[in-house]
C-alpha cells in the first residue's frame, strides 16, 4: 500500500487505466492529475524520505486576487438572487416561509 500527499488538490473524482502499466489519476481544481506525480508519504507502512513539495504550474494556480474577485462576484450573485426572491415574495409567487428559508440558505454562503 502506498500513501501519497495530495498537496492542495481538492479531489473530485478518479479514474484507473486497466491496461499494462495502467495509471491512477484524479480530477482536482487544477485538472486531471496523475497519482505518480505526487510525493509518496509511505510505502507499506514505512515512511519515505520527504522531498520538497512540488508546486502547481503558475498558469494553473489561482492568485489571491483572483480568489478574492471570485468571492466578491459570488456575493454580488447572492445579493442579486435575494433581491429577485424578494420580488417574487412581494408578487405572491413565494410564501414568507419559502422566502425566509431560501434567504437563510443564501446568506449562509456569504
- Check residue 22 and give its pLDDT: 58
pLDDT digits (tens, 9 = 90+) for 14-63: 666 665 555 778 888 777 788 888 888 888 878 777 655 555 555 545 55
Residues in contact with 25: Cβ distance below 8 Å, sequence separation at least 6, in sequence order: 14, 15, 16, 17, 32, 33, 34, 35
Question: Is residue 109 classed as helix, strand or coil in its secondary structure?
Answer: coil
- Check residue 90 and give its pLDDT: 93
**Rounded distance, CA 23 to CA 12, Å?**
17
In DSSP terms, which residues pair with 34 in a beta bridge? 25
**Rounded distance, CA 37 to CA 54, Å?**
9
The domain ranges of the chain are 2-49, 64-108
Amino acid at each position: 500500500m502506498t500513501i501519497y500527499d495530495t498537496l492542495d488538490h481538492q479531489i473530485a473524482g478518479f479514474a484507473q487505466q486497466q491496461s499494462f502499466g495502467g495509471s491512477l489519476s484524479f480530477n482536482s481544481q487544477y485538472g486531471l492529475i496523475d497519482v505518480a506525480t505526487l510525493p509518496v508519504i509511505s510505502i507499506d507502512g514505512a515512511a519515505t524520505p520527504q522531498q520538497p513539495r512540488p508546486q502547481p504550474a503558475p498558469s494553473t494556480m489561482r492568485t489571491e486576487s483572483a480568489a478574492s474577485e471570485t468571492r466578491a462576484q459570488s456575493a454580488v450573485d447572492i445579493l442579486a438572487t435575494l433581491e429577485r426572491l424578494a420580488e417574487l415574495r412581494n408578487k405572491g409567487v413565494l410564501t414568507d416561509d419559502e422566502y425566509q428559508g431560501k434567504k437563510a440558505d443564501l446568506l449562509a454562503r456569504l
